[in-house]
Structure 1
């Protein structure tokens, strides 16, 4: 699992090691640890490295007093966050991949999130009933109790991201694809249309938008963070919603691609008010379908 503070610490330590022209193996020998531990630390993963080890490592790299104190502060905050995450890890850890756990840990520290739905409503906006149908399709071998645990996991993610500004975009086709039945889709779309939180925006890319960036994207979420210890800006994180699991992208060219996409989506999508109007219009169509089905079912 990657924590935002440990990620920042790892990135700084890697830069210091490379500036000192030292390999991970040489650094590990200098502090009597394994090269795997140094690698995990630089990747932002939780390790058993002590504060004494970290101080020695900073000295080995020639770091100054301020850099050493910032490194120690990041280590302490990262470890505190790992402890705070113990509860949900115990409840849901067996349902998640390593990238899923990293996403959930990072989401709670994000100040802004942009999510795009190519084929489905973005996960954090899905109603309980909609999500249940999705989970049943993704995990057909699971028991009803296991499906309910997966649904509760999504609700837990939603609660943990309450502080972030969230911008949601989706193709119109994503809300026209029927998940469950017409009544379920009506309820899902009306909930999207009635979203009134000042932190949340929902915008559609309608079918008449022509050739646009949304046609070339898979579903994804880009998380952005504020400055941490030392005031240094933190780079974003991108996760693809790939089937049942999240896929974390950490290559610089991948981040640049999705940053460009996030900049382009507002220019392509309908306004918030026009999106609400279209959502209500489509929901009304589902309402008519539901009423017609109920009438036909009458003896």
Structure 2
């Protein structure tokens, strides 16, 4: 059994054990943490991944000293590939994020179904591993829901938004609807790079940039076999330059939202 699986199972088992020790039914516990009995059951069966709020309330109910929140953080780190973990800390503490999606919607803006479909393209992943990766991705996205969320600006190639082939149309439609919802949030900007642009700086590949509270930038490059953190001055300067070029060639915010709605309209 992998370390990632044991961490997730430990959380579920400890939740069940703590509830039973406290003499609470799922309904009674649900009332205390402000979740339905069906959600409590789904969490304990491993059908739903508990979020930070759920586990924080469980810690309060059981007076467990932050145990469940701490376990969740361990699970989050375990769920992501080893090569991605150095970037996660930079992303978690960033005040600004800028990402370019060449062939896919950036991970921070993906739905669970879209992420799952992407992970399934790697035939080396088991079904269990795919669900671990999807859960880790959803946890990663929670930085956009916190009180002081980073300002996220994304540029996405139009071709990445028109992959409505047989078998994935429903997934794409759900992803585009989610993208529109995200784009309407005050701290999220989504810009579409029109297919008519032709050759552009983003053809070198997708990337993401994060800026710390101190004003320091760091980048991350996606590759076929993993990824690379870019923190040297020249490398960061190159990515910032390419970002500015891509952003200037992309559509403005409202025009991008209009285009997204136009693309998804036939599939609603």
Q: Partner of 1:113: helix, strand, or coil?
A: strand
1:115 counterpart = 2:102? no
Question: Which residue of structure 1 lines up, in the alignment, with residue 85 of structure 2?
Answer: 101
Q: What runs of 5+ residues in structure 1 fail to find an aligned partner? A: 1-84, 228-233, 288-299
- Say whether the 8 Å CA contact 1:96–1:245 is kept in structure 2: no
Report matched runs for 1:172-183 at 5 Å. Answer: 172-178=158-164, 181-183=168-170
Report matched runs for 1:59-70 at 5 Å. Answer: none
Instruction: Return closer, same or farther for 1:111/1:92 CA change in 2, 3 Å cut-off.
Output: closer
The match for 1:219 among 206, 226, 230 is: 206
The match for 1:252 among 233, 251, 259 is: 233
1:273 counterpart = 2:260? no
Report matched runs for 1:1-299 at 5 Å. Answer: 87-88=71-72, 90-138=74-122, 140-162=123-145, 163-178=149-164, 181-195=168-182, 196-214=184-202, 216-227=203-214, 234-243=215-224, 245-287=226-268
Question: 1:155, 1:165 → 2: CA distance?
Answer: 18
Count matched residues: 196
Instruction: Return closer, same or farther for 1:161/1:104 CA change in 2, 3 Å cut-off.
Output: farther
Q: What runs of 5+ residues in structure 2 fail to find an aligned partner? A: 1-68
**TM-score between both structures, scaled by the size of structure 1:** 0.60
C-alpha deviation, 1:99, in angstroms: 3.9
Q: Partner of 1:142: helix, strand, or coil?
A: coil
Question: 2:243, 2:207 → 1: CA distance?
Answer: 10
Instruction: Return closer, same or farther for 1:241/1:178 CA change in 2, 3 Å cut-off.
Output: farther
Instruction: Return closer, same or farther for 1:127/1:97 CA change in 2, 3 Å cut-off.
Output: closer
Question: 1:191, 1:97 → 2: CA distance?
Answer: 25
Instruction: Return closer, same or farther for 1:87/1:172 CA change in 2, 3 Å cut-off.
Output: same
Question: 1:253, 1:240 → 2: CA distance?
Answer: 14
Q: Partner of 1:194: helix, strand, or coil?
A: helix
- Say whether the 8 Å CA contact 1:223–1:238 is kept in structure 2: yes
- Say whether the 8 Å CA contact 1:97–1:246 is kept in structure 2: no
CA-atom RMSD in angstroms: 2.3
Q: Which runs of at least 4 in structure 1 moved beyond 6 Å after TM superposition?
A: none
C-alpha deviation, 1:88, in angstroms: 4.8
- Say whether the 8 Å CA contact 2:90–2:212 is kept in structure 1: no
Question: 1:161, 1:105 → 2: CA distance?
Answer: 15
**TM-score between both structures, scaled by the size of structure 2:** 0.66
